[in-house]
Amino acid sequence: MSADSAGPGPSPAPDTSSLQAPGTSSPPPGLILPAGSRFHHLGFACRSLEEGQAGLRALGYAAAGAPFTDTDQGVSGVFVEGPGPRVELLAPLGEGRVLEPWLRGGSRLYHLAYEVTDFEAALAAAAAAGGRQTSAPAPAAAFAGRRIAFFMLPVRLLIELIEPGAA
């Protein structure tokens, strides 16, 4: 999900033929996602990865990558896939508190994540759309060091923007 002190390495995220950085491709006016960007996963908060995996097993979901930990964000996670959108299960790690509002509030849907073709353009567009950045761009353990950033949109939807893969 976020910063990875270990630096780039194998990605726990399933290989989804990651987008390649295409250069500049600013989003059309009023839109956040540059052309060619795509939905990557739905983030789902749970008390434990085991609990989350067990709960989604009934819907046909199974692990699609190795579990990972993100000490900066204070979460552990694992991607699961099934007959529906890819899901990133996230659970608190140690004293991590980032998921607590969702776990305590009863809404476990945490965020929608998009792999964008132009990370910087998407950051600017998200801010221009009134989004509030909730965490600064940082390398993510879940994506082998590619940067991610989170924005809360005025519609009260948290989105994650994922940097494209190296060209």
Partner 1 sequence: MSDDGLEAAVREILETALGTPPEPPENPSRAHTERWDSLMQLEIVFMLEERFDLRFSEQEIAGLDSFNDIVSVLRSKHVG
**Site residues (vs partner 1, CB under 8 A):** 100-102, 105, 130, 132-134, 152, 154, 156
- Helix (H) / strand (E) element for 131: namely none
CB of 129 to partner 1, least distance (A): 12
CB of 66 to partner 1, least distance (A): 29
- Helix (H) / strand (E) element for 124: namely helix 119-128
In terms of CB distance, is 15 or 156 closer to partner 1?
156
In terms of CB distance, is 2 or 11 closer to partner 1?
2
CA distances from 57 to 64, 102, 146 (A): 12, 21, 29
CB of 89 to partner 1, least distance (A): 19
- Surface-to-core class of residue 42, CB atoms within 10 Å of its CB (0-12 exposed, 13-18 middle, 19+ buried): middle
Which stretches within 61-118 are classed as H helix? 100-105
In terms of CB distance, is 26 or 134 closer to partner 1?
134
CB of 105 to partner 1, least distance (A): 7
- SS3 assignment, position 39: strand
DSSP state of 98: T
Strand residue runs (E) in the chain: 38-45, 62-63, 68-70, 75-82, 84-92, 109-115, 132-139, 147-152, 158-162
In terms of CB distance, is 78 or 138 closer to partner 1?
138
CB of 80 to partner 1, least distance (A): 24
* Largest Cα span, the chain: 42
In terms of CB distance, is 84 or 101 closer to partner 1?
101
